[in-house]
Amino acid sequence: MRPSLGFDILSAMLWIPGPTYVRPSILESLTQPPIGHRSAEMVEIIERLDPHLALAFGLEDGDWQVAATTSSATGLMEASLIGAGERILCVVGGAFGKRWATIAKDLGKDVQILQVPAGEVVNDMLLAETLDMDGPFDALTLVVNETSTGVYTDPFPIARVLQAFPDTLFLADVVSAIAGTAISLERNCIDFALAGINKALALPPGIAVCGVSEAFMDRAREQSNRGFYLDPIRIVEGHAKRKTPTTPCITLYRALAEQLEDISAGVQLPSDFAAEPGAPAWQARFDVHTAMQTRTLEWAAGHGLEPFPVPAGLSSTVSCIRAGHVDVPSLISGLKERGHEIGNGYGELKNQTFRIGHMGDHTPEQLEELLTAADEVLAATASA
Ligand SMILES: Cc1ncc(COP(=O)(O)O)c(C=O)c1O
């Protein structure tokens, strides 16, 4: 269903794995004029974020705090490394794991890569062995939902391994997981979790959010030469004081506050997923994502297509599907003609896989429209 704002805002419904579809009411809120970033109104907007970000990051109480900052997710990938120390072990199973390792190298860190075959999840025994034989490491980086391959890695087994290495901070990229999948920083002992807002939070890009442990903050305070813009201490303490270190993207902060409140109120939930406000509404949002994942994979199986990830690594926000007999460029262009845009495979997986980002404020009903359109395109190409 197309939003009507009185002007043509969309050429196609976005099902790429981010940025994704943004609801009309959110788009409208973005058209409000800016306010002073040191004003009482701005303080109030920043204050509105925290209780809902706590739900997004699965925080109840304890030694964690949340923050928002004006950058894309990569800014916080860099900030996390600036605060973490010198020896970094990077789990790399796809493009974004590799990006984190590249940033670490570019920052002059001593980086070791634990390569994971594309489509697989990291082997926790191998991880334990690497930490033991090649450590000590100051931090471990893990992309929980590797958007390039559609692999979801459960952080819990990693957290269990890290229990034996208490000085190794756990840094987690939850960019395409947040607001689509439960992420409990406390249960998973994650010291720094970061995300953008243009995936399952369903907003335009421009702000990044994080959940940060006290252990991370203590470590970061010990680091010298932290720079300014990406200094994690300035970011987190500035947020806590409601005084961002630099001019924030005010319009997006406002939209983020509205979107988080709507998610906590369950505003966007389909009627059969209706839930009480608060944590149950977030859980229901995760359940909608799981339902869309299940339906997408059923649809794929109906066409003889298989997911790229191993069964233990299926993501509930991004389905990366092996192309098999499907000509990916034709599928993408045929869908575009019908008003939907999906993603090709990433990098070397281009034309060998395609990706459907069933995330954010998409509904199972909208997904049916996409899959029906995909059926039409596949039938048309088969008979051509
Ligand atoms: C898992 C993951 N991490 C990090 C990023 C980087 O985000 P950005 O390019 O918005 O900084 C992305 C972008 O798609 C991503 O999917």
Pick the atom of ligand 1 nearest to 99's CA.
Answer: 4
- pTM of the entire predicted model: 0.96
CA of 18 to the centre of ligand 1 (A): 9
pLDDT of residue 101: 98
Residue 8, pLDDT > 50, answer: no
13-22+277-383 placed in CATH 3.90.1150.10? yes
Q: How sure is the predictor about 119, in pLDDT bands with cuts at 50, 70 and 90?
A: very high
- Confidence (pLDDT) at 1: 45
147 lines ligand 1 (CB under 6 A): yes
For ligand 1, the distance from its centroid to the CA atom of residue 65, given in whole angstroms, is 22
**Is 13-22+277-383's fold the same as 24-260's?**
no
State which ligand 1 atom lies nearest to the alpha carbon of 148.
16
pLDDT digits (tens, 9 = 90+) for 333-380: 999 999 999 999 999 999 999 999 999 999 999 999 999 999 999 999
Q: Which fold has domain 24-260?
A: Aspartate Aminotransferase; domain 2 (3.40.640)
74 alpha carbon to ligand 1 midpoint, in Å?
Answer: 6
74 lines ligand 1 (CB under 6 A): yes
Residue nearest to atom 16 of ligand 1 (CA): 147
Residue 30 has pLDDT above 60, yes or no: yes
**Secondary structure of the chain as H, E, C letters:** CCCCCCCCCCCCEECCCCCCCCCHHHHHHCCCCCCCCCCHHHHHHHHHHHHHHHHHCCCCCCCEEEEEECCCHHHHHHHHHHHHCCEEEEEECCHHHHHHHHHHHHCCCEEEEEECCCCCCCCHHHHHHHHHHHCCCCEEEEECEECCCCEECCHHHHHHHHCCCCCCEEEEECCCCCCCCCCCCCCCCCCEEEEECCCCCCCCCCCEEEEEEHHHHHHHHHCCCCCCCCCHHHHHHHHHCCCCCCCCCHHHHHHHHHHHHHHHHCCCCCHHHCCCCCHHHHHHHHHHHHHHHHHHHHHHHHCCCCECCCHHHECCCEEEEECCCCCHHHHHHHHHHCCEECEECCHHHECCEEEEECCCCCCHHHHHHHHHHHHHHHHHHHHC
194 lines ligand 1 (CB under 6 A): no
**How much distance in Å is there from the Cα of 34 to the middle of ligand 1?**
27
Ligand 1 midpoint to CA 205 (Å):
10
Residue located nearest, by CA, to atom 7 of ligand 1: 73
Q: Which atom from ligand 1 is nearest to the alpha carbon of 145?
A: 1
Kindly state the average pLDDT of the residues 223-227.
Answer: 96
Domain map of the chain by residue range? 13-22+277-383, 24-260
What's the 102 CA to ligand 1 centre distance in angstroms? 14
| pLDDT tens by residue, 244-292 | 999 999 999 999 999 999 999 999 999 999 999 999 999 999 999 999 9
Mean pLDDT to the nearest integer, 39-50: 97
